[in-house]
Amino acid sequence: MSNLTPEVLISEDDIRKRVAELAQQISTDYNDSGDLVMIGVLKGSFIFLADLSRQLKIPRTIEFIAVSSYGSGSVSSGAVRLVMDVRGNIEGKHVLIVEDIVDTGHTLKYLIGMLKSHRPASVKTAALVRKAESAEVDVTIDYLGFDIGNEWVVGYGLDYAEQHRTLPYIGVVKPTDT
């Protein structure tokens, strides 16, 4: 692919403000509720998780989980496979799944079911971006950053064939760029 700079869809400033709002909401909701474990879904959530978790005003621990994704393409198969499970014991704890982006919803639905089998006290979800029009399964996002249309986005953790993850904004790669 070329090195053309993706077009800005959600600016760095808008992301910063929205992440601060979500952190405030999560801090309020989980205040006094007991152990909170934030589980980041690799790889795409690593920047969102880092920024969100550092702004919380409540105690929290961090775990990561990895699932199979679309590879280097951009078409969802609907099939989700666990590649790396959480290391710590989450039984009896409040789990907050932190996803980069929800497209069809298959990944998040799978993760909620899988993590519930570890018998946590609760399971909630946070996602920076959702493609509302692409939903194939009904899944609740408790803390959502932004709704976007059905286009492939990169930056702020998100890639296209491993490129663009460290862009500070969320951008769109034009077809002619690839």
Q: Annotated catalytic sites, by residue? A: 103
Work out whether 63 is an interface residue with ligand 5GP (CB under 6 A). no
> Of the candidates 153, 156, 169, 171, which one interacts with ligand 5GP according to CB under 6 A?
153
Residue 69 within binding range of ligand 5GP, rule CB under 6 A: yes
Centre a 10 Å sphere on the Cβ of residue 22 and count the other Cβ atoms it contains. Answer: 22
If you search the block for the tokens 């007991």, which residue do you land on? 34
Identify which range of 11-19, 57-65, 85-93, 146-154 contacts ligand 5GP by CB under 6 A.
Answer: 146-154
The Cα 57–Cα 153 span in angstroms is 30
DSSP three-state, residue 110: helix
State the alpha helices, DSSP H only, in 30-105.
Answer: 46-54
- When the beta carbons of 64 and 152 are compared against ligand 5GP, the nearer one is 152
Q: Which is nearer to ligand 5GP, 78 or 88 (CB)?
A: 78
Nearest approach in angstroms of CB 24 to ligand 5GP is 25
Shortest spacing between CB 106 and ligand 5GP, in angstroms: 4
Enter the DSSP assignment of 55.
Answer: T
Element (H, E) at 116: helix 106-116
177 close to 5: Cβ distance less than 8 angstroms: no
111: contact with ligand 5GP by CB under 6 A:
no
Q: Which residue, among 68, 93, 63, has the nearest Cα to 78 in the 3D structure?
A: 68
Closest distance to ligand 5GP from the beta carbon of 34 (Å): 28
Among 15, 46, 48, 107, binds ligand 5GP (CB under 6 A): 107
